[in-house]
Structure 1
């Protein structure tokens, strides 16, 4: 009992406490982003309050009053405990099943439990509305795809290669709603989530609610309450909704499961796909993971893949730039000719450029510039931006002059304007015949001809996932031209034999992703291995030795490397389950000492 009073494991911190026995006590995790409070503290429940697992409460902590979450309840009489001050709303943020998933996520992403519990909670106090219920739905047609017809009857994961049409989404979620089950749809961007919500709301009315960081706190809270309390709700949003509690969950659909928008950048770096996969197994609902190019992680979860249509994208033609003369500019002659012809015929053209990686080539021998150490595009500086190796003359001919094959939107627009006229060129949404854009614009583009200015840039991105990510990005750009007679995409490349280019020509990404996954597994990269990246600033002397000493016997520890005033380590092993607990202890001590620490589990950029 003394342990409870002193605030040790199982007890609340020092302060005023009750001297009489109480009938009920609860364990509360306070909303403090620290590993030190993960186990929670015991509090007495005064008369008039009836908290359950998941209840959001206010409790005393030291000299403060803080928000917290009830993670356990007990009927054993306890003495000397401080009391719960109040309950914030009457809707629990999670039940026992979801709590178990959030504990798993806290361990996987090496994050304080409170940061995960906060993800499951609304921004404002949740209060139940009047239980009016939803109007009954009429007959809902089954999806055309056989693999999707029986979803919602148990825990199943289905991987879909291709974009899920809105009509199919309506059929899937409508059948769930008619059966009194709640659906969750997660989109990669706010614009895509809004488009889905608008379509489904037109069909199903008020039972469709939305959430995400682009919505107001009041709107998000109303949607959160509806999803948590009204069975048959259809929740649509961005990655933030993946942790929301659901009343009678039947189905979750992840649209663009391989897109960057599905993963949090800040700690905890939760991936919506992985969180929902764990939830589907624990809460017994079906999960659809869709993308024009499925990830290796998704394929590892499901043995088979369902396709939407016979081909994921339309006709692709390759423009080989190896024979271009020096100073040829951004567009090859054949590309410029196709651009002129399309504009003359009144066709819509989309010029796609990727700003993240620009390919450089030698002006003498036309060879693409690669880092001799890691093979990535080294950029225009004196060292490789991925591995830090020095870059110098062309490895093929010794030349020292290089030219860019890609560029930003303004330069691309200027070159296109010289070919077809400035009045014909504009940004996405301008209504001009030729639109110049980036990945951000892809969801709103419908064209007859797509021109990829520099396909080699994504192929040479400085990450271990470059090939898969490049195929996904280029496939989305190509798909903007749609299917049908006269529609096509032109890919400018100086590496026409690259396997990614071959997969684009075939229109079948799955075989390539499986082969790339095997290559990554041989190197210990996800999903065949696990990686943690630890970034820290303001560390005390000897921190490097501490991490190597604590973790080095369990996993490979590479680094530290300096990056922007911080130190960066890579921790790699086939299985990091036991290592994560050790890293948690080291990170906790560093943070208590005032260091800034970020942990990224299975990072996208590496």
Structure 2
């Protein structure tokens, strides 16, 4: 006999045990343990001196260890024999951690992602800090706080003017936020002041007596700053590197109702609010919004579901919809909020397409260098988007573009840190590049130039200050200057007026070996191109800045959608390819990785899934076998895999399941 809790075995229709002592209290607990085969509530006896209600977090003994759990139900009924019941050890805090509707959401999340409920509980709840509870009790807002009031709604005439570019769609969204409900996908105008618009929506929600949740992909989001400014002392901002004490205090303020707005990264998707009326996800397609640990959910799905269950508004914001968002649009489960065509034409930047003639020695076309020169002479920034950080390692001939290959194994040659060339395939190395097989040239250039390489080229050829920005929170020099940036430095708001945006290497991004390469490339290009149309730019250049696109594939539908500024046209073309391949959004992708080398695993997976589910693989990835499943019915496929996964769990075989992986 072990001292772990006994599983709650009573099922619907089970016989009533007349001999059960009705005075006993039984807590049905989701124990926070990882194995999938233990994903069920366990019954514990509540001692006479312990007060416990559903939703409280408790400490229990499970398999001889002190473990946390969440009470799902308090009952007097159990089918567990008396000698197997173990007592609860203690409750954690005087507050309810998870309310019944929130537990229902956690169970929905577990079913949707194929994860144990306990994983969702661990993800949703912070670590307890008793000192925070004591300080809050002394301050008078724990275990419950009086509901704070908000400022009146913004002036109606001012709102009409600010949202005029969206026509009837804008009025529909604002009316829903004030007192209605629904799911929406908003494509902002190019150069839109997102901080102001999102702040107005939050104010409308608060004035209507409801609360707001805003999820952002990065801590430097200017739109999140706008929400914090608009909500004042009604908001908790969880961005930044918060310590355990600070994070628990903010969560407790939301739990007790002391605040009415929560702003943060993907981790706040499940944070509590008293009367959720508006839940927003900014840049909904950003991969940073996808959780990397179980349950591997995306903030997009969680936010929409929470808003739906609360009778509020779920709002996704983005320029080019993700594949899952496009699927929701096609199924009419979200309502598009888009600018009028006239407003979008007036607001969009001027885009010039320059077909690339295969230049390698000089990365930028004359049209691009001319645009940078005009931008800096006007006292603004010129921005060059680099494909990657650093130098860019795979080499081609600087004259003709012939790929530089290893003389031993024919793999691509790379540039070493000491200036030598090397092959990572077989280890061959030489102090300098061999002569090009096609033209005899010995000067190498990267196949896709990194930010550092472009920065050096521009420093040699330009009189303006050149700064290379790689990653978040980089501080640029004041304009005029040329900024060479990577995607990590591309935010909703430019660093200042931008007179020129140069997109010189979109082809490299389009050729990445991932299915979402085209949509991701277009999304990034649109985001940085809007800097040339931002109010900061138009304050200096009334007609906005220039956008120059260089491409060897000018007919590619992603390039065409960028030049015509028509994201909808991209998906109309992209969906043809996706449907033929049965990839998202035409089907649901599920990635399954199992830490085994069993040659029979593929046959077992194929035998388990329902008809109509395609299984690709296995491929050996980092010590495991990985499969990609394409399913028409996500729930049926996950249910069919469950017995197999529970068997792996019992055997101690590690496996990972990811529904809608961000790179599929």
Instruction: Mark yes or no: TM-score above 0.5.
Output: yes
**Does structure 2 retain, via aligned residues, the 8 Å contact 1:156–1:286?**
yes
C-alpha change, 1:469 and 1:334, in structure 2 (3 Å) is: same
C-alpha change, 1:355 and 1:50, in structure 2 (3 Å) is: same
Structure 2 residue 113 is the aligned partner of structure 1 residue 114: no
Q: Corresponding residue for 1:191?
A: 220
CA distance in 1, matches of 2:324, 2:640: 25
Work out which of the residue numbers 328, 337, 344 in structure 2 matches 1:310.
Answer: 344
Q: Corresponding residue for 1:37?
A: 38
CA distance in 1, matches of 2:290, 2:503: 26
Structure 2 residue 624 is the aligned partner of structure 1 residue 578: no
CA distance in 2, matches of 1:360, 1:91: 61
SS at 2:592 equivalent: strand
Work out which of the residue numbers 332, 355, 361 in structure 2 matches 1:320.
Answer: 355
Work out which of the residue numbers 594, 615, 622 in structure 2 matches 1:564.
Answer: 622
Matches within 5 A, 1:469-484: 469-483=520-534, 484=538
C-alpha change, 1:150 and 1:24, in structure 2 (3 Å) is: farther
Alpha-carbon offset, residue 156 of structure 1: 0.2
CA distance in 2, matches of 1:202, 1:214: 20
C-alpha change, 1:6 and 1:599, in structure 2 (3 Å) is: closer
Q: Corresponding residue for 2:284?
A: 257
**Worse-matched range after superposition: 577-586 or 175-184:** 577-586
SS at 1:496 equivalent: coil
Work out which of the residue numbers 334, 359, 371 in structure 1 matches 2:367.
Answer: 334
Structure 2 residue 457 is the aligned partner of structure 1 residue 415: yes
Structure 2 residue 211 is the aligned partner of structure 1 residue 160: no
Alpha-carbon offset, residue 240 of structure 1: 0.7
SS at 1:172 equivalent: helix
Q: Corresponding residue for 2:69?
A: 68
SS at 1:36 equivalent: helix
Q: Corresponding residue for 2:487?
A: 439
Alpha-carbon offset, residue 490 of structure 1: 1.2
Work out which of the residue numbers 465, 470, 476 in structure 2 matches 1:430.
Answer: 476
Q: Corresponding residue for 2:174?
A: 149
Alpha-carbon offset, residue 90 of structure 1: 3.0
**Does structure 2 retain, via aligned residues, the 8 Å contact 1:555–1:576?**
no
Alpha-carbon offset, residue 466 of structure 1: 2.0
Matches within 5 A, 1:58-457: 58-76=59-77, 80=82, 81-125=85-129, 127=133, 128=142, 131-142=145-156, 143=159, 144=163, 145-152=170-177, 153-162=179-188, 165-192=194-221, 195-211=222-238, 214-230=241-257, 233-302=260-329, 303=332, 304-308=335-339, 310=344, 313-322=348-357, 324=359, 327-355=360-388, 404-421=446-463, 423-427=465-469, 428-431=474-477, 433-443=481-491, 445-446=495-496, 447-457=498-508
Structure showing greater Rg: 2
**Does structure 1 retain, via aligned residues, the 8 Å contact 2:613–2:631?**
yes
SS at 2:74 equivalent: strand
**Worse-matched range after superposition: 240-249 or 506-515:** 506-515
Alpha-carbon offset, residue 74 of structure 1: 2.0
Q: Corresponding residue for 2:645?
A: 587
Work out which of the residue numbers 559, 564, 569 in structure 2 matches 1:511.
Answer: 569
Q: Corresponding residue for 1:55?
A: 56
SS at 2:548 equivalent: strand
C-alpha change, 1:60 and 1:270, in structure 2 (3 Å) is: same
**Does structure 2 retain, via aligned residues, the 8 Å contact 1:93–1:120?**
no
CA distance in 2, matches of 1:267, 1:135: 37
**Does structure 1 retain, via aligned residues, the 8 Å contact 2:234–2:260?**
yes
Alpha-carbon offset, residue 456 of structure 1: 0.8
C-alpha change, 1:197 and 1:532, in structure 2 (3 Å) is: closer
**Does structure 2 retain, via aligned residues, the 8 Å contact 1:537–1:565?**
yes
SS at 1:490 equivalent: strand
Output one character per residue of 1:90-138: Cα deviation in whole Å (capped at 9) or x when no partner.
3333323222222222222222221111122123258435624424423
Output one character per residue of 1:47-88: Cα deviation in whole Å (capped at 9) or x when no partner.
344433321111121211110011223244787232222111
Output one character per residue of 1:238-288: Cα deviation in whole Å (capped at 9) or x when no partner.
111111222111110110001111111233321000122222222222111
Output one character per residue of 1:276-330: Cα deviation in whole Å (capped at 9) or x when no partner.
2222222222111111222242243344421255257411111221264xx4332
Alpha-carbon offset, residue 488 of structure 1: 1.6
Q: CA RMSD in A?
A: 3.4
C-alpha change, 1:113 and 1:529, in structure 2 (3 Å) is: same
Alpha-carbon offset, residue 218 of structure 1: 2.0
Alpha-carbon offset, residue 519 of structure 1: 3.6
Alpha-carbon offset, residue 164 of structure 1: 6.5
**Does structure 1 retain, via aligned residues, the 8 Å contact 2:3–2:61?**
no
Q: Provide TM-score, normalisation by structure 2.
A: 0.78
**Worse-matched range after superposition: 477-486 or 129-138:** 129-138
Alpha-carbon offset, residue 567 of structure 1: 1.7
Alpha-carbon offset, residue 587 of structure 1: 2.9
**Worse-matched range after superposition: 28-37 or 312-321:** 312-321
CA distance in 2, matches of 1:156, 1:63: 48
Output one character per residue of 1:192-219: Cα deviation in whole Å (capped at 9) or x when no partner.
1xx4454333333221112257322222
CA distance in 2, matches of 1:399, 1:109: 54
Q: Corresponding residue for 1:603?
A: 661
Q: Provide TM-score, normalisation by structure 1.
A: 0.85
Number of aligned residue pairs: give it: 572
C-alpha change, 1:360 and 1:531, in structure 2 (3 Å) is: farther
CA distance in 2, matches of 1:342, 1:349: 6
Q: Corresponding residue for 1:15?
A: none
Q: Corresponding residue for 1:461?
A: 512
C-alpha change, 1:338 and 1:139, in structure 2 (3 Å) is: closer
CA distance in 2, matches of 1:101, 1:228: 16
**Does structure 2 retain, via aligned residues, the 8 Å contact 1:186–1:253?**
yes
CA distance in 2, matches of 1:380, 1:577: 46
**Does structure 2 retain, via aligned residues, the 8 Å contact 1:53–1:72?**
yes
**Does structure 1 retain, via aligned residues, the 8 Å contact 2:28–2:73?**
yes
**Does structure 2 retain, via aligned residues, the 8 Å contact 1:35–1:113?**
no
Which sections of structure 1, spanning at least 5 residues, go unmatched?
Answer: 12-18, 370-377, 382-396
Alpha-carbon offset, residue 362 of structure 1: 8.6
Which sections of structure 2, spanning at least 5 residues, go unmatched?
Answer: 11-19, 134-141, 164-169, 405-410, 415-436
